[in-house]
Amino acid sequence: MIKMKDILDEKDKRLRNISKEVTFPLSQKDKDTINDMIEYLHDSQIEELSEKYNLRPGMGMAAIQLGINKRYFVVVHEVTKEDDEEQKFDTYVIINPVMISHSEEEIAADAGEGCLSVNRDVEGYVKRYARVKFEGYDIDGNKISIRAREELAIAFQHELDHLNGILFIDKITNNNDGIRTI
């Protein structure tokens, strides 16, 4: 299981590396890492497990955040409806992701963005596209295409930035310039 100490801190220069394309088939080590990332992100969003295992809540993680210089990321997105008693999640694994299209509309997270590698609160807005379409590959090397909007679109763009050596703090502004916040 991934622990907080395994996640690179913003001061670590490796986070600024541009990640390298992944070749298929994936190694067992990469498959295990992806499963560990999914487990961490899932458990970190469930309050009892987050407290029990001392996990900072997170919705996405890129391989580079674990010091692995490969182009893949995982997003575990809570989709629980208000009347559901149990938390439910959609899990996305995108290997060699490419954003192939996006909306003209830009949005920002009203509460600001956070990052497992930035272990402090940072005030401000990060402009992101409201809707995006990504292509890449799944864990078995099959081509996939995913459309995302709003919160999920923000997460995909945040993780893609990681693969390009960019942290959200590089893009933050104190002004939302009138764009819609969610």
125 CA to centre of own chain: 17
Our answer to whether residue 159 is catalytic in this structure is yes
State the catalytic residue, choosing from 10, 51, 85, 159.
159
- CA-nearest of 101, 33, 42 to 69 is 33
Contact 169, 118 (CB under 8 A): yes
Q: Are 117 and 64 in contact (CB under 8 A)?
A: no
Cα 46 to Cα 163: distance, rounded to the nearest angstrom = 26
Catalytic residues: 159
